[in-house]
Amino acid sequence: TMTIDNSKNVADVHIRSGIYSSDTVFDYWHGYIATRMFSRNACFILKMDKKSFPEIQEIGRRAYEKQTLKKIFSPTNLWVQYTPGSSVIANIKDWFLYGSAIEHLCKDLPIYK
């Protein structure tokens, strides 16, 4: 499922698939994406490159297309590599940087950037 809050420029994507379940926050206001992998009990945070990620309105359109067409096509692929953050759990200044939506998703979990 997906929830888009245009007033906060945040999209939440919830994937329920057994051990592969995850929650992802696209925070366009702060420019970060965070994914919480439930099987790993960890949070992965990525700085959003505006050229590589669709606008928030585009995410909604693609989700609608996938729901109606049952198939989605993206001409671009994005590969990333995560490294452990500077601390096991993010400190207070990191939460100001990432924003409250990502803090809510990732608080008290190991962070990988």
pLDDT, tens digit, 9 for 90 and up, residues 36-60: 988 888 888 999 987 887 888 787 7
Cβ 15 vs Cβ 3: under 8 Å: no
Q: For residue 73, what are the CA distances in angstroms to 48, 56, 66?
A: 21, 17, 9
Structure tokens at 8: 């906060």
The reported pLDDT for the residue numbered 27 is 93
Cβ 105 vs Cβ 25: under 8 Å: yes
Which of 8-12, 68-72, 88-92, 97-101 tops mean pLDDT?
A: 8-12
At the top level of CATH, the class of 2-107 is alpha beta
Band (111; pLDDT cuts 50, 70, 90): confident
